[in-house]
């Protein structure tokens, strides 16, 4: 296994992804903090997260089919321009005092609708920019860079930007979208590695072909089922983390920033250990281990009323989350035909994300009924089911030996 070259197309794609993640972190950290100033109803706060994932159910499959038809580089650039304009308009509304829970929900829904095309196009584009034997390293570097920018750098900056004005984090996010769009647009045009569409082919038939391909691959089918169960719980966790930290732990915005930073640092550690872990266990067993350890961390979060302990548990949770994400993405790229990668990716993401809105609403409901510490315990229950769903996929013949790809060695820092 070898690492991708930093210079050239991959370096520009990595820079665009990392810069955009920095802006996303500003927005995603500021949104719940803004939401809790607009309402004290946990269910309404959870609705913002739920509507941020709902478009994957409605438009996810369509986004993948379109990504397999169009110039992926151009589609990603145009989507980022549009997202930048939307966030800039929202920043203006906040600055003028027109923010509301309804507006937050509309923004979350609109941005994720555009993301369904962007993410599937990005997943399909990466194998065209790096060699196949560098995919694992490329994914690790992308996810690690995004975690550094999004959590380690972006999250802690939010309280400072909010002190300058509630609209400032959103204005900064708009700028990062526009700069990322320019970087993606600068990538060289290349002939896609895919067969021409058959005569009479329709979006409906192409979507069905992607679903069939996902279903027939036992490894991808098992991963998809496991991820779907995880994400029901993750919807609960994402929506209610701000309530857990600011209400149950009484730690305020600073504690919330510390929790996000711990999750990020754990993710960086996951990038470091992933290559060695895969070399010993293989990709699928590494994912199984990740889910098991995350379950234990969630139980700790929901039972120990200490900011320091919860921060430590989030670090472990983030470490294993990185292992899960890198290997899931790489397996999908390795096992899917190039001409179907956008559709397989969209089918996987749509089925996996379908439960997040439900989980977010469940989180709001259980927090209201039984207290703000119960959502992590509900999430842990879903992770147990996820681990059980993944076990049948272990029988698949997947490459086990992979040397350390050095995803987060000193090279990344350069």
Residue 410 pLDDT greater than 60, yes or no: no
Q: What is the pLDDT of residue 411?
A: 32
What angle, 0 to 180 degrees and rounded to 10, lies between the N-to-C axes of helices 72-95 and 42-69? 150
Per the domain annotation, does 413 fall within a domain? no
Alpha carbons 23 and 37: distance in angstroms, whole number: 21
> Is pLDDT above 80 for 329?
yes
34 domain residue, yes or no:
yes
The pLDDT score that the predictor gives to residue 383 is 92
Helix residue ranges per DSSP H, 336-398: 341-353, 356-370, 374-390
- Residue 402 pLDDT > 80, yes or no? no
For residues 38 and 42, what is the distance between their CA atoms, to the nearest angstrom? 11
- pTM for this model (two decimals): 0.69
pLDDT of residue 316: 93
The pLDDT assigned to 401 comes to 36
The answer to whether 397 touches 90, Cβ cutoff 8 Å, is no
257 falls in which pLDDT band (50, 70, 90)?
A: confident
Average pLDDT over residues 341-348: 81
404, part of any domain: no
CATH number of the domain encompassing residue 17: 1.20.1250.20
Q: DSSP secondary-structure letter at 130? A: S
The string of DSSP letters for 218-234 reads HHHHHHHHHHHHHHHHH
pLDDT at 413: 27
pLDDT attached to residue 115 = 82
pLDDT score at 196: 54
Instruction: Write down the residue that tokens 């941020």 correspond to.
Output: 52
- pLDDT-based confidence at residue 6 (cuts at 50, 70, 90): low
What are 159-171's pLDDT values in tens digits?
788 778 888 888 9
Find where tokens 């550094």 sit.
148
- Reference 214, options 349, 103, 109; nearest CA is 349
Looking at per-residue pLDDT, the higher value among 404 and 50 belongs to 50
pLDDT, position 320: 92
Q: Pull the structure tokens for residue 18.
A: 């990392």
Residue 4 has pLDDT above 80, yes or no: no
Q: What is the mean pLDDT of residues 101-113?
A: 86
Q: Tokens for 189, please give them.
A: 């045009």
Q: Which of 47-61, 186-200, 363-377 has the highest mean pLDDT?
A: 363-377
Residue 54 Cα distances to 9, 21, 58, 262, 355, angstroms = 32, 21, 7, 28, 9
Asked whether residue 23 is domain-assigned, the answer is yes
Which pLDDT belongs to residue 84?
Answer: 92
Asked whether the beta carbons of 257 and 381 are under 8 A apart, the reply is: no
> What domain range is 69 assigned to?
9-186+203-394
d(CA 239, CA 356): 10
Measured over all CA atoms, what is the biggest interatomic distance in the chain, rounded to whole angstroms? 62
Q: How far apart are CA 283 and CA 245, in angstroms?
A: 33
Q: How far is CA 343 from the centre of its chain?
A: 18
**Alpha helices of 39-164 — where are they, by DSSP H?**
42-69, 72-95, 101-129, 135-147, 155-164
Does residue 292 sit in helix, strand or coil?
Answer: helix
Cα–Cα distance for residue pair 134/396, rounded to 1 Å: 22
| CB neighbours of residue 100 within 10 Å | 11
Kindly state whether residue 211 falls inside one of the protein's structural domains.
yes
Return left, alpha or beta for 98; rule: phi > 0 is left, psi -120 to 50 is alpha, else beta.
alpha
Per-residue DSSP letter, 407: T
Residue 414 lies in a domain: no
| CA nearest neighbour of 204 among 354, 347, 61, 56 | 61
Average pLDDT over residues 267-294: 87
Q: Is 165 helix (H, G, I), strand (E, B) or coil?
A: coil
The arithmetic mean of pLDDT across residues 102-114, rounded, is 86
Give the number of domains in the chain.
1
**Stretch 344-367: mean pLDDT, rounded?**
80
CB half-sphere exposure, 299, CA atoms < 13 A: 9
On whether residue 193 sits in a domain, the answer given is: no
What mean pLDDT do residues 279-305 have?
90
Query: Which of 27-41, 202-216, 217-231, 372-386 is predicted with the least confidence, judged by mean pLDDT?
Result: 27-41
When comparing pLDDT for 70 and 303, which is higher?
303
Return d(Cα 254, Cα 250) in angstroms, integer: 10
Residue 402, domain member (yes or no): no
- Residue 373 tokens read as 């510490």
Residue 414: pLDDT over 50? no
Select, from the ranges 8-22, 45-59, 378-392, 400-414, the one with the highest average predicted confidence (pLDDT).
378-392
pLDDT at 292 over 90: yes
Are 129 and 9 in contact by the 8 Å Cβ rule? The answer is: yes
């Amino acid at each position: 296994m070898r690492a991708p070259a930093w210079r050239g197309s991959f370096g520009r794609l990595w820079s665009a992804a990392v810069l955009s993640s920095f802006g996303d972190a500003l927005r995603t950290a500021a949104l719940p903090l803004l939401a809790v100033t607009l309402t004290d109803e946990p269910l309404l706060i959870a609705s913002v997260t739920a509507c941020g994932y709902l478009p994957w159910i409605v438009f996810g499959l369509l986004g993948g089919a379109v990504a397999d038809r169009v110039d992926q580089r151009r589609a990603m650039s145009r989507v980022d321009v549009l997202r930048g304009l939307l966030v800039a308009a929202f920043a203006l509304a906040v600055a003028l005092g027109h923010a509301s829970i309804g507006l937050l929900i509309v923004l979350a829904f609109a941005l994720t609708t555009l993301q369904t095309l962007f993410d599937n196009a990005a997943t399909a584009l990466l194998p065209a920019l790096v060699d196949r034997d560098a995919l694992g390293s490329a994914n690790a570097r992308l996810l690690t860079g995004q975690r550094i920018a999004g959590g380690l750098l972006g999250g802690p900056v939010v309280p400072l930007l909010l002190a300058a004005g509630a609209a400032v984090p959103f204005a900064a996010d708009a700028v990062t979208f526009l700069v990322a769009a320019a970087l993606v647009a600068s990538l060289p045009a290349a002939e896609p590695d895919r067969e021409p569409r058959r005569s009479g082919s329709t979006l409906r038939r192409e979507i069905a072909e992607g679903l069939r391909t996902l279903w027939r691959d036992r490894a991808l089918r098992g991963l998809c089922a496991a991820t779907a169960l995880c994400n029901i719980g993750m919807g609960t966790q994402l929506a209610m983390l701000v309530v857990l930290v600011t209400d149950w732990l009484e730690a305020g915005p600073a504690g919330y920033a510390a929790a996000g930073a711990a999750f990020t640092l754990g993710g960086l550690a996951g990038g470091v250990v992933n290559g060695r872990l895969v070399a010993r266990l293989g990709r699928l067993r590494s994912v199984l281990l990740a889910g098991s350890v995350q379950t234990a961390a969630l139980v700790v979060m929901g039972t120990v009323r200490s900011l320091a302990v919860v921060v430590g548990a989030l670090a472990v949770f983030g470490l294993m989350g990185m292992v899960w994400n890198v290997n899931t993405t790489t397996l999908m790229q390795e096992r899917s035909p190039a001409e179907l990668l956008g559709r397989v990716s969209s089918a996987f993401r749509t089925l996996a994300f379908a439960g997040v809105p439900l989980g977010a609403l469940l989180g709001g409901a259980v927090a209201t009924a039984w207290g703000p510490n119960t959502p992590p315990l509900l999430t842990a229950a879903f992770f147990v089911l996820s681990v059980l769903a993944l076990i049948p996929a272990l029988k698949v013949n997947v490459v086990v030996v992979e040397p350390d790809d050095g995803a987060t060695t000193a090279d990344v820092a350069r």
